[in-house]
Amino acid sequence: MDELLLEWHGRNARDLPWRRTRDPYAILVSEVMLQQTQVERVIPRWLGWLERWPTAAALAGATPAEVIRVWQGLGYNRRALNLHRAAQAIAAGGWPKDLTDLPGIGPYTAAAIRNQAFGEPVLPVDTNVARIQERTAHEFGPTALQALFDLGATVCLARVPRCGACPLAERCPARGRRYEPLRRQSRFEGSFRQRRAAMLRIVAEAPQRLATLDAEAVAALERDGLVHVDGDLVALPARRRA
């Protein structure tokens, strides 16, 4: 099946900018941004991020406040701090042999960097890859990674796969099946996540008095290291080095 998939991908690959580089830092940034964020939203933000901070050393030299401000709009702001801390670790000691030693980097992201940046024969398995392998009952090789990403995003969809457009359909035991709707993520509108995001957005513009803010949301942001509370003043963390 790998050959069929790769042949299809040669004609249908998405043109994504991080596929044009082997720079592990650039790929790290893309992988962190792509966690729970749509590709279309990530592309301009990834390009802008690398224009501002083209290397891990450049990002390491930024303040947490600068990083949080630039990250605004991508959501899940702790990812920004983890990326910043990872850049500091890389700038100080280089890329570790075990990439999961970097702050915020789990086995999947480590495998994605090893495959895409270092050319190692590992296959990172995200939701799309796992779904395709389960449906086809086939274990794909590492060279099929980008093709699997694209097939999962455009053809082998979670609920109603487009089997008629799938290059693997004739050999797929799940061909024609439909699936129950996935459990939806809790609504953002009116949620505590929205309250947190609103408070962080306000504080990112300028330090604020705690008495004027949502104290519960600010406390959660402080626990995550996203804001600093000094008496009655709430501000973004400004310390340059972790």
* The predicted structure's pLDDT at residue 179: 80
**Residue length, the chain?**
242
* The predicted structure's pLDDT at residue 108: 97
Q: How would you write the pLDDT of the chain (242 residues) with one tens digit per residue?
A: 999 999 999 999 999 999 999 999 999 999 999 998 999 999 999 999 999 999 999 999 999 999 999 999 998 899 999 999 999 999 999 999 999 999 999 999 999 999 999 999 999 999 999 999 999 999 999 999 999 999 999 999 998 999 999 999 999 999 998 887 666 656 767 788 889 999 999 999 999 999 999 999 999 999 999 999 999 999 999 864 43
Nearest Cα neighbor of 63 from 242, 240, 227 is 240
Q: Catalogue all structural domains in the chain, each as residue range(s) with its CATH number.
A: 23-116 (1.10.340.30), 192-235 (no CATH)
* The predicted structure's pLDDT at residue 215: 94
Distance (Å, rounded) from C-alpha 153 to C-alpha 150? 5
DSSP E strands: which ranges in 102-232? 208-209, 228-230
Strand partners, 235: 228
Edge-to-edge strands, sheet with 208-209: 208-209, 233-235, 228-230
> Which residues contact residue 152 at a Cβ distance below 8 angstroms, ignoring those fewer than 6 apart?
127, 128, 129, 131, 132
Whole-model pTM above 0.75? yes
Distance (Å, rounded) from C-alpha 86 to C-alpha 135? 35
* The predicted structure's pLDDT at residue 180: 74
CB 124 within 8 A of CB 152: no
CB 85 within 8 A of CB 62: no
* The predicted structure's pLDDT at residue 124: 97
- Which of 3, 7, 31, 222 is flagged as catalytic? 31
Buried b (16+ CB within 10 A) or exposed e, 30-52: bbbbbbebeeeebbebbeebbee
* The predicted structure's pLDDT at residue 242: 39
* The predicted structure's pLDDT at residue 185: 59
SS3 content of the chain, % helix, strand, coil (to 5): 55, 5, 40
* The predicted structure's pLDDT at residue 184: 62
31 catalytic? Reply is yes
* The predicted structure's pLDDT at residue 241: 43
